[in-house]
Amino acid sequence: MIRKVSFILLCIYTPLLLYWMFFGFGREYDPQAAYRYNIVPFHTITDFALMRVGGRIDQWINLFGNIAVFVPFGVCIPLLKSYTWRAFMIRFALGILIIEIVQMISKRGTFDIDDLILNSIGATIGWCLWRYISTFRQRSL
């Protein structure tokens, strides 16, 4: 039963998240725009944390939003197929890497290594929650 619920949640949540990543937050295609990217780890994170760019809401969306929205993947995916943390993170990071590249190429976002870092932190938090819940459930049986 829990696997079915997890599958249904992923089938609803994934397209919603992809919409946010490619069309939400005022993202528009501009054929004249340059490709935007950041390959310097912690550059964007530092800019937002120190309030060098954007306002308080931008800071929360970038730093905490990029973590929080990926927690469900860390919980739901291992419910469908059990992975070690390393195997899960390799697959997850490759998926996010592809999405970041497509965002840049489609000019509907920025390729940002910091997004990959923050998204991976969110997925790791979710994976740790899944491990805790599974361990707790096994002990109570």
- What's at 10, amino acid-wise? L
pLDDT at 122: 98
Q: Where in the chain are the domains?
A: 2-140
| Amino acid of residue 7 | F
Its pTM stands at 0.91
Per-residue model confidence (pLDDT) at position 124: 98
**What would the pLDDT profile of 67-119 be if each residue is shown by its tens digit?**
999 999 999 999 999 889 999 999 999 999 999 999 999 999 899 999 999 99
CA dist., res. 127 & res. 109, Å (int)? 27
**SS3 of the chain: helix, strand, coil, percent, to 5:** 70, 5, 25
- Residues 42-55 have pLDDT tens digits of 999 999 999 888 88
Tell me what pLDDT residue 139 has.
Answer: 77
Contact criterion met (CB below 8 Å) for 101 and 93? no
Other Cβ atoms closer than 10 A to 99: 19
d(Cα 140, Cα 26) in Å, to the nearest integer? 47
- Averaged pLDDT score across all residues of the chain: 93
DSSP codes of every residue in 103-134: HHHTTSS-EEHHHHHHHHHHHHHHHHHHHHHH
User: How far apart, in whole angstroms, are the C-alpha atoms of residue 69 and residue 61?
Assistant: 10
SS3 state at 70: coil
